Amino acid sequence: MSPTELSVSQIKGKRIFYLVFATITLLVLGLIYAWSIFAAPIGANYESYKPLLPQVFQVSMFAFCLSALGGAQLIKKTSAKLTIIVAAILMAVGFVLTAYGAGMGVWALFIFYGIFAGSGCGIAYNAIISLVNPWFPDRIGFCSGVQMMGFGISSLVFGSVANAMFGIMDWTAVFIIIAIVAFIIMVVLAFTVKPAPKDIAQKLGLSGAAATTKQSSTQQQGILTTRVFWLYSVWATIVIACGLTLIGTAGQGATLLGFDAGFAALLVGLVSTMNGIGRIINGSIFDKAGLLPVMLIAAAFAIGTMICLAAALALSIGFLYVVAAILVAFPYSAVPVMASAYARQRYGAAGFAKNLGIANCNIASAAVINIVIVAVLGSPAAANGPIIYGLLAGLAVVAFLVSFVFGKVYKNDLTTIAKELE
């Protein structure tokens, strides 16, 4: 039965099934965030790589968002199914080559894990969300939040499993297993999940903006030509930069403050848990209150957590570091959910995959900030950690102030769109 012939009950059943399946798949893809766990056995085997291991994570984030743009074009020219299969191949190849090629030099980690695995993850992420979100025209924020919850808690669910496996087998074998599992799940999803029917909103009995299939002239504006996008990007880039700085070095920071390797791995998992829970909370806030409250709350949390991390490292307060590290994930979790909800609400369904990819490019700009900071001041999990987190706290204040300007412009845009769709 084609999607257009489905009854309301069938649509509701399928969209729940697709959402669960997509969340499970993104749970696997989220292993890209477990780099601080993966870096431990790799650094133990290759001592000379240690200074550059945090940068591998930043490169993977850079590749993640840039590849989403290429993935959007592939979806447009072919299909989401083929795009996800291509992504599965890239990610699997990335993990396999990382396992077999790490001994060739640290550059192999940057290429195979950073670029290959990061790109496969980014392409699949964009394609899956673009495929599943249209099934939920009435709950965009919730749908995005649930899927991204899977992506966010991956380090806790599978990262902890991988860490345990490192104790009983070589890390290269673990990487091969990850490659096989990820490939199978992604390919099965590609052949299972179908595009939503174009009239799904009408079939669900929705009205107003959620039900319209029209695209207003304001929604048709190129995303890069709109003032609201650049204001959003300043906020998103800064909040992501705060989160990436901690996420990529959470385990090393805990070790620096005297915690053992087991607790360091647990902390990475707890950060991952907050990352996942925060995505549902932020998505629900968006559905009920809109984008601006989410942005203000996220920026306020970023300011507070960066100050606490700076104080924890300066004064060697382990408990404060742990609490702040976990809470950093809450503002970070707001950005990917808002990127999806914002791109759909402001620019409409047409070109959603492309607009989502562009919105997610803030991950790349944030990664660049982190790379520059590390190049100048060193790792956050080292002597200059307090200075780095203090600097990020100052940037978070900028994000908080920019949110107010964004809110005014965004409200005007939505008002204009509503009038054009009348």
- Mean pLDDT, residues 345-361: 81
What confidence category does residue 214 fall into, taking pLDDT thresholds of 50, 70 and 90? low
Longest dimension (CA), the chain: 64
Q: Residues 65-90: what's their mean pLDDT?
A: 88
Q: For residue 164, what are the contacts with CB-CB under 8 A and spacing of at least 6?
A: none
Q: What is the pLDDT of residue 394?
A: 96
Confidence of residue 208 (pLDDT cuts 50, 70, 90): low
Identity of residue 398: V
Structure confidence at residue 220 (pLDDT):
85
Q: Could you tell me the domains of the chain?
A: 3-200+213-420 (1.20.1250.20)
Query: For residue 317, what pLDDT is reported?
Result: 94
pLDDT at 207: 61
pLDDT in tens, 276-333: 788 888 888 888 888 899 999 999 999 999 999 999 999 999 999 999 999 998 999 8
Please count the CA atoms within 13 angstroms of the CA of 229 that sit on its side-chain side: 22
**Which of 385, 405, 376, 145 lies closest to 299, judged by CA?**
405
Residue whose tokens read 């749970």: 27
Question: What pLDDT sits at residue 389?
Answer: 95
Contacts of 40 (CB under 8 A, 6+ apart): 163, 166, 251, 261, 265
Q: At residue 104, does pLDDT exceed 60? A: yes
**Quick one: tokens of 398?**
């900028």
State pLDDT tens for residues 372-410: 888 899 888 888 999 999 999 999 999 999 999 999 999
Per-residue pLDDT at 58? 78
Q: How many CA atoms lie within 13 A of 190 on its CB side?
A: 24
| pLDDT above 80 for 350 | no
Q: How far apart are CA 397 and CA 300, in angstroms?
A: 8
pLDDT digits (tens, 9 = 90+) for 37-64: 788 888 888 888 888 887 888 788 888 8
Calculate mean pLDDT across residues 225-236. 94
Q: Are 312 and 250 in contact (CB under 8 A)?
A: no
pLDDT at 163 over 80: no
Q: What is the per-residue pLDDT for 185? A: 95
pLDDT digits (tens, 9 = 90+) for 243-279: 988 877 887 888 889 888 778 878 877 887 787 788 8
